[in-house]
Amino acid sequence: SRVGRFRADNPSPLYLQLQQLIRDAIGGEVIVRGDAIPAERDLAVEYGVSRITVRKAIEGLVEEGLLTRRRGAGTFVAGRVEKNFSKLSSFTEDMIARGLVPSSSWVSRSVGTVSPEESMALALSPSAPVYRFQRLRFADEVPMALEVSTIAGFCLPSLDAVDASLYAALTDAGHRPVRALQRLRAVPFGTDHARMLGVDPGSPGLLIERRGFLRDGRAVEFTRSYYRGDSYDFVAELADS
């Protein structure tokens, strides 16, 4: 087994012992962030305990945030990612800097003309062309965020210029933002977003809206990033000035 064995002389309840085994396995990096833990029935057989005991142990660790459930996929080792709130970096760069493997899946991408909201956010005239991208972002295959981006049409050569990283494509096109405004707020996930991120509907999310600008003041991106509430710690260094 990957998670160790019970000690026969241990007087504490079995579910607490099982929790301790899992904690030790995580602490000792036997299993790491993103790893699946064995199915309930396998753990029950392995340790000779009832599935109720296993479920109780796992539920406790999910509540603590040590494990996370993904609908239809199983239970995984959680672990929050720290992100500097005041750095103009990209998701891909942030994950690589932390030794995590970033990946994305496309929800949609399209070309269109600005909506009234986008024209306000990007200060574009009503008929201006835009690209729209919706992506699910993963770190080590764990879903972290859903990102909905609108990019001013002049910033990219074509829709398929964006492959793994939006900022890489903007850099290639000479239109990577150098300044941004960010707004952070709490949102409960609705059914659709919850399903995509593998959390229960109504669970807490963090919405960050970023508007990115070029040196000359023109707006490049308006992105809404919906982060799983259990996936991130946003950190900023403050200076007295």
Contact residues: ligand 16G, CB under 6 A: 90-92, 147, 149, 165-168, 208, 210, 221, 223, 225
CB of 128 to ligand 16G, least distance (A): 19
CB of 201 to ligand 16G, least distance (A): 23
Distance from C-alpha of 32 to C-alpha of 4, rounded to nearest angstrom:
15
Task: Please identify, using beta-carbon distances, which residue of 47 and 133 lies nearer to ligand 16G.
Answer: 133
Of 154, 147, 88, 148, the closest CA to residue 124 belongs to: 154
Rounded to a whole number of angstroms, the distance between the first and last alpha carbons of the chain is 55
CB of 74 to ligand 16G, least distance (A): 26
Task: Please identify, using beta-carbon distances, which residue of 19 and 149 lies nearer to ligand 16G.
Answer: 149
CB of 6 to ligand 16G, least distance (A): 43
Q: How far is CA 173 from CA 25, 113, 145, 212, in A?
A: 46, 20, 25, 15
CB of 173 to ligand 16G, least distance (A): 13
Identify whether the C-beta of residue 88 lies closer than 8 Å to the C-beta of residue 210.
no
Task: Please identify, using beta-carbon distances, which residue of 63 and 237 lies nearer to ligand 16G.
Answer: 237
Task: Please identify, using beta-carbon distances, which residue of 56 and 135 lies nearer to ligand 16G.
Answer: 135
Q: How far is CA 29 from CA 23, 24, 70, 202, in A?
A: 10, 8, 21, 31
